[in-house]
A and B are shown apart, each in its own frame.
Chain A
C-alpha cells in the first residue's frame, strides 16, 4: 500500500495526477486526508526544486492603472507581483502560523501594548544597500501617516509610534493588540529603502526577484536576485512573468496552449471542463473569502431581529454551494469566520435552511410586504443568480424578496455600505480580530451591517489584549454566537480559491491565505525539467 501511495504522490508532484484525485485514491486505500497531505508535501520536497527557466502566470486582476507603489495595491496582479519582489517582517504560513521573514523574532510586553521586532541582518535590497531597522521604521511611518493614501492605513491606526532601538524596532500601541505581528504580514507593508518615502514606485525590495519590466495592465517581469538572503527556499526559476489576462476564456486558452504555466480564478462553472484538459491540474483550496447578504441592523424593516432571523433561515446554503460554487466552497454559518482562521471554534451549530422557522420569525416580526434586495454581478461571481435562488427559497417560507439588479459601475460606492439590504463579498483577513474589527465593530468604517452591540464590542477589545490563547478562543466563540443570532450578515458560503497549473509546474503548495498559493506561487514553484 505504501508503495502505491509513494508512486501516487510522485505522480502528483510531477503534475500527472491532481491533488484531489490523489486524496481520493489515498482515501480508498484507507489513509486519512491529513496523512495523505503530509505525504504529498514530503514527496514534493523529495523531488526537489528544479532551477532555471522562465515561469509564467496568466492572471486576472491587473489594469493599466496599476502602480509599483505598495501603498496603492488593491487588485490581484500588482500585489501578487509584489509578493515576489518585496517582503514583509513576517509571513503567514499555509497553516495560519507566523513565520519570521525580515524580522527574526518578536515579543510583546505583558499588556500587549509594546511590541519589539528584531530585524534580520545581512539582507540586501535590490539596489545593493543593506536593509536596516531605519527602513522598517520609515515603511511603517509612511503607511500609518494620517495623510497616507495607503490601503494599510486602516489596520495601522492603533499604532502610537514606532522607533528604532539598536537592532530592533519597537511599536507602541494606543491600546493592547495581541495580533499586531499578524498585521505585519499585510501585503502593503513591503519593506522599502527608507520606507519608499523618496521614491514609492521604485520597485526595490528584498524579495527573490527584482523588477525588470513593469508594464501595468500588460505584463510584469522579475529576474532572479543573485544576493537573495533566503536563496534556497524561494525563487527557483531564473525569471518570472505575469501576463495580465482578464478574460476568463483567454486565460484558460493561454494555459492550454502552453503560453503560461499557471492561471488564477478558474470560474466554478468551467472547472469541470478545465479539469479534463490533459496535463492541467486544478489547484483549489479553502480560503477565508466569503459571499455575504448584508442587512442594516438599524434600518427598518431590518432593525427587527425576528426579520433578520427569518431572512437567515430562508437561505438554502447547501443549494448555494452546489449551484453558485459548483461544490468548490463550504457552508457559511452567518459569521465571517471559518476553520481557516486561528482560534476558530468548530462546535457552533450550523444554521440550516428551515422554511417553517423562517415563516415563524417572519410572522413574529410583524413585517408585511416584499423585502428589497439589491445585487449586481460585481458583488461576487454569480451574485445575481444567488439572489434569484434566495428569492425562490424564501418564497417557500412565504417571504417575498424583490431582487433589484444594480449597475456594476459604482456598486461599491453607491450601493454597498449605503443601501439597507445588498449582496457583497469579503476577502477575509489574517485573524479573527481583524475581520471583526474591520466590519463588525460598532465604530468600524465598514460596519456594513450597522451592527451595534456593546457586549460584542467589549469582548472584541478584551480579546485583542488577551495573550492567553484558550481564553481568547472562548471569547471569539461567544462573539461568533452573538453575531450569528443577532447580526445583520447572512453568510451562505465560503468560496475556494481555484487556480490551475500545467504539467510543467512543480512544488505547488496549497495555501488558503490567498489565491495563487498564498500569492507566493511564482517564487515557491519551479519548472519541471
Chain B
C-alpha cells in the first residue's frame, strides 16, 4: 500500500477514536439527565428513605459528575467496565455472553441477507425495468415497510403456533447444541433478513446501474461479453464502495438496533440487556453498552471507508 492510502486510513482511525471519546462524553451526560434515581429504581416503589440513603452512599452516587466520569473513563482505558449497580456483578463478564449472542444473531442474519441482497441486486440490474426487477423491488420494499414486530408476530402465529416448525421463544444459552441454536434463531433471522434486505438490494442495484452508464461498459458490450459477465466482471467491482457502505450500515443495525426483535422472540441479546438496565437506572451498564454499540458502529463505518479508499484506483495509484 502506498503512503497516501496509509495516511488516509490512519486519519480515519484517529477520527474514529476521537469520535468515540466524544460519544463517551455524550453517553455519560445522557445517563446523568435520565429522570429518576438509581437507588429508587433498584429498591422500587416500596423503598424506605433509610434504605435509599444507605444504597446511595454505598454506590458513591453522592460524588460530583466529573469525578464519576473520569473514574469511569480511567476504568475503561484499563479494560475495567466496572460492576453493575443492581447486581454487583462484573459488567465485562456478564456482557460477554450477551454480546456474543447479539453477534451470533447478527452474523446469522448477515450470512443470509447479504449474499441474497447482492444476488437479487445483480438480478434486478440484469433484468432491469422488466417483470423480475419490479417483482424483486416490490417485494423487497413491502417487507421493509412492514414494521418488524408485525412480521415477527405473523411468523410466530403461522410458523411457530400453527405449523410448529420453529420455536417462538428463541432463548439460547451456553452449552446449547449448535443445531438447536440455529433452530432457535431461525425466526428472528428471517425477520431481520426481511428488514435489511431491500435497502442493500436497492443500493446494489442503484450503484451498479450508475456504473452501467460508463463508457467502458459500452466497450464491454461492443466486444461481445454477455450481460451477466459485464455486470459481475466490470460493473460490480467498480460499484463496490457504495455497496460495502450500505452493507456496513445494515450490519451495524443488526448489532445495535434489534431490541424489538429481541423482545418479541425473547432472545437474550445486548438490546434487551441494555433496556433492562436503563429501566433500573444501572448507569455503569448503560454506559458500557452504549460505548460498545458506538464502537461497533464507528468501526464498521471505518471499515466501509477503508474499503472505499482501497478500492479506489485513483487513491491506490496516485500519479
Contacts and interface: CB of A to CB of B under 8 A. Distances in A.
Q: Do A and B bind each other?
A: yes
Interface of A: 58, 63-67, 72, 74, 146-151, 153-154, 213, 215-219, 243-247, 249-250, 253-254, 256-260, 407, 409-410, 412-414, 416, 438, 445-446
Contacts of A246: 263, 266
A57 to B, nearest CB: 12
Max count, chain A CB within 10 A of own CB: residue among B47, B164, B167: B47
10 contacts: A63-B276, A64-B272, A67-B88, A147-B54, A149-B54, A249-B264, A250-B169, A250-B264, A414-B36, A438-B46
B282 interface: yes
A106 to B, nearest CB: 26
A28 B75 CA distance: 71
Contacts of A445: 48-49
B102 to A, nearest CB: 13
A443 B103 CA distance: 52
A153 B266 contact: no
A416 B84 CA distance: 26
Given A243-B266, A250-B265, A412 B273 contact: no
B263 to A, nearest CB: 5
A250 B35 contact: no
Contacts of B54: 147-149
Contact of A245 (B45, B153, B169): B169
Contact of B169 (A58, A150, A446): A58
Interface in B26-67: 34-37, 40-51, 54-55
Given A149-B54, A247-B266, A410 B35 contact: yes
B263 A247 contact: yes
B156 interface: yes
B308 to A, nearest CB: 38
Interface string B2-40: 000000000000000000000000000000001111001
B40 A412 contact: yes
Given A67-B86, A74-B44, A151-B44, 20 more contacts: A63-B279, A64-B277, A65-B86, A72-B42, A74-B46, A148-B51, A149-B43, A149-B54, A151-B43, A218-B173, A250-B265, A256-B161, A257-B164, A257-B168, A258-B164, A407-B35, A412-B45, A413-B37, A414-B36, A438-B46
Contacts of A245: 169, 266
Q: What 4 A-B pairs come out closest when comparing CB atoms? A: A410-B36, A410-B35, A65-B86, A63-B276
Max count, chain A CB within 10 A of own CB: residue among B46, B94, B171: B46
A146 B57 CA distance: 14
B49 to A, nearest CB: 6
B51 A250 contact: no
B148 to A, nearest CB: 13
B280 interface: yes
Interface residues of B, number: 47
Nearest to B46: A151
Nearest to A444: B48
A67 B87 contact: yes
A160 B189 CA distance: 58
A153 B49 CA distance: 11
Contacts of A258: 164
A65 B277 contact: yes
A245 B268 CA distance: 10
Nearest to B278: A409
B157 interface: yes
A216 B35 contact: no
Contact of A217 (B88, B161, B268): B268
B160 interface: yes
A407 B40 CA distance: 16
A218 B35 contact: no
Max count, chain B CB within 10 A of own CB: residue among A58, A63, A67, A410: A63
Given A58-B169, A74-B46, A245-B169, A216 B87 contact: yes
A150 B42 CA distance: 11
Contacts of B157: 253
Contacts of B40: 412-413
B34 A446 contact: no
Contacts of A153: 48, 50-51
Nearest to A58: B169
Interface in B264-319: 264-266, 268, 272-273, 276-277, 279-280, 282
Contact of A218 (B48, B171, B263, B264): B171
